[in-house]
Amino acid sequence: MPATSGAKTHINARFEDKSIPPRAGAGLKAEHVDAILQDDYHIGFLEVHAENYMGDGGAPHRALNAIRQNFPLCVHGVGLSIGSEKALDKVHLDRLKKVVERYEPGLVSEHLAWSTHDNSYYNDLLPVPYDQPTLDRVCDHIDQVQEVLGRKILLENPSTYLQFDHSTMSETDFIAQIARRSGCGLLLDINNVFVSATNQHYRPLTYLSEFPLEKVEEIHLAGHATDTDDDGRPLLIDAHDRPVDDAVWKLYDIVIGQMGPVPTLIEWDNDVPDWPVLRREALRADEILERRAGNYMLGSRHAAVC
């Protein structure tokens, strides 16, 4: 049935643009809706946090419907707590399903993290140990999500600030096993790689050389804040409150040169600037995607360690 607009939008609305092009996209903020719709630059796609649209109606849905009529959409969850020791929240999962059915996004993603304990919900996405019991639990949770949604989801690598002593495998091996067992795709957050590598003193390109790039269907880029730890060493915070760092852009160029163009999101969630600032970041990603489109390394998606 044809899509309707405004307050009359129904859950069964249908949209033409369902696939996500291998271009730059941006996280949608309410204050940018009018500027995006009026901009001569037609951004490749937009992404929303599912939890912001779990109500039945109101201004957020009217704005998102107007965006969805004109742009491909991704839905990014932040509250499923896939890494939690407790069972998934069925009410939350049902609400996510409703959002997905309502807006028919091209991609749906979540985090390799936990954010709930008993009846408490935390604002942070907390890390998990990389061991067999956690692997089994995460795969089981992803299986449940994919069965309820009736589609594949993408799992995002975390930003981390510590390592668990009882981890028995590397993060890249842990993520690769999840993808292989559950059939999920991967969302590679390159800023998270750089933040974690800096905080834990390993080379980001070493991590990328071990990451299953052949499973990556979306990339995230964001800015990070710089601090120091108690020993005076660099400590990076995944702040999403500033432009993408030059070091992250360089890693992105290497990854795209290896695996070819994939949808790439500019994340900016705090101290959100005017739309032209995000537009400029998206254009920079588009330039790399266009430049690399004809010369990436065919037949492999593993970044070379330099």
Burial zone of 95 (CB within 10 Å; 0-12 exposed, 13-18 middle, 19+ buried):
middle
Closest CA to 175 of 162, 191, 193, 161: 193
Q: Helix (H, G, I), strand (E, B), or coil: what is residue 300?
A: coil
Residue 179 near residue 146, CB atoms below 8 Å: no
Q: At which residue do the structure tokens 């309410």 appear?
A: 30
Query: What CATH number corresponds to the domain at position 213?
Result: 3.20.20.150
Residue 275, domain member (yes or no): yes
Classify residue 81: in a domain, yes or no.
Answer: yes
- The domain in which residue 172 lies consists of 6-292
**Residue type present at position 234:** P
Task: Report the C-alpha gap between 218 and 154 in whole angstroms.
Answer: 8
Domain annotation covers residue 115? yes
274: left (phi over 0), alpha (psi -120 to 50) or beta: beta
Report the C-alpha gap between 155 and 78 in whole angstroms: 11
Which residues touch 31 (CB under 8 Å, ≥6 apart)? 272
Specify if 225 maps to a domain.
yes
Residue 58 within a domain? yes
In this structure, how many other beta carbons lie within 10 angstroms of the beta carbon of residue 30? 12
Please say whether the beta carbons of 272 and 256 come within 8 A.
no
The one-character DSSP state at 185 is E
* Helix residue ranges, H only, the chain: 33-38, 59-68, 90-103, 132-149, 171-182, 190-200, 204-210, 246-259, 275-292
Cβ pair 263, 21 in contact under 8 A = yes
Give the C-alpha separation, 72 to 76, whole Å.
13
Residue 11 lies in a domain: yes
Determine, yes or no, domain membership for 298: no
The answer to whether residue 297 sits within a structural domain is no
Q: How many distinct structural domains can be found in the chain? A: 1
306 residues of the chain, pLDDT tens digit each: 333 333 334 444 578 888 999 999 999 999 999 999 999 999 999 999 999 999 998 999 999 999 999 999 999 998 898 988 889 999 999 999 999 999 999 999 999 985 655 555 545 567 888 999 999 999 999 999 999 999 999 999 998 877 777 889 999 999 999 999 999 999 999 999 999 999 999 999 999 999 999 999 999 999 999 888 888 888 888 899 999 999 999 999 999 999 999 999 999 999 999 999 999 999 999 999 999 998 887 555 544 444
